[in-house]
Amino acid sequence: MHALILVDIQNDFLPTGALPVPEGDGVVPVANALLPAFDLVVATQDWHPAAHGSFAANHPGRVPGEMIELAGLPQMLWPVHCVQETPGAAFAPGLDTTRITHVVRKGTDAGIDSYSGFFDNGQRQATGLKALLRAHGVTAVYLLGLATDYCVKFTALDARRLGFGTYLIVDGCRGVDLHHGDVARALADLQAQGVTLLNSADVLAGVSAGE
């Protein structure tokens, strides 16, 4: 069984959102084109309490882009984003959510961030994504979404580390690239760790070829 994982395709990561990813809306048509090719589709949502420790606003005198320590780990400070039950945390308009079979939420503990859809950044608590995939006999995962250099990267690295065949659909991802080169470095790191980089057309061609 192969699963499609849609990473954090949420309003706050679109160009008009609170933590805008340049061209973030460009992943929506790629996701929609691939959805019918998968029986198991998991969408992750960044799902923070308002008091989340990754928000610069919760640290007097700090601004987004600065680093602090959170849960004993280096932590980038972000604008307030993807607060639980707010419009910013909702799936992007135009995403065909009717084909999403499971939703996994992360970043729900105010005291630690969670870039990966599998575990928090300290690898302390699991989200349930690994158990879900195992329960369905998933052997390979295909990932796309936002942002290439944060949540997509760490979700793909964990998938690979857990032993899933891991395929990153590059044209279905966009990155923050806060420091120019972050996206290119993320893709190189992923490839070095055994993640296969491909494009949506490759996936669709493979499906129609009966793979």
Q: So which residues are the catalytic ones?
A: 8, 106, 151
120 binds Zn ion (CB under 5 A): no
Q: Which does 12 bind (CB under 5 to 8 A by kind): ligand VGL, Zn ion, none?
A: none
Which of Zn ion, ligand VGL, none binds 8 (CB below 5-8 Å, type-dependent)? ligand VGL
Residues 46-85 close enough to bind Zn ion by CB under 5 A: 46
Minimum distance from residue 166 beta carbon to ligand VGL (Å) = 17
Nearest to 90 by CA among 5, 13, 11, 8: 11
Count residues near Zn ion (CB under 5 A): 1
Q: What are phi and psi of 32, to 5 degrees?
A: -60, -35
**Partner interacting with residue 151 (select from Zn ion, ligand VGL, none; CB below 5-8 Å by kind):** ligand VGL
In sequence order, the 6+-apart residues with CB closer than 8 A to the CB of 210 are none
Minimum CB separation from ligand VGL for residue 139, in Å?
A: 25
Judged by CB under 5 A, does residue 8 bind Zn ion? no
Interacting residues with ligand VGL (CB under 6 A): 8, 13, 46, 78, 146-147, 150-151
> Cβ 82 to Zn ion, closest distance in Å?
6
Eight-state DSSP code of residue 119: B
Specify which residues 148 forms β-bridges with: none
Q: Which residues contact 39 (CB under 8 A, 6 or more apart)?
A: 1, 101
CA distances in angstroms from 29 to 9, 23, 25, 56, listed in the order given: 11, 12, 8, 32
Q: How far is the CB of 88 from Zn ion (least distance, A)?
A: 11
Instruction: Identify which of 29, 142, 37, 161 has the alpha carbon closest to the alpha carbon of residue 96.
Output: 29
Residues that bind Zn ion (CB under 5 A): 46
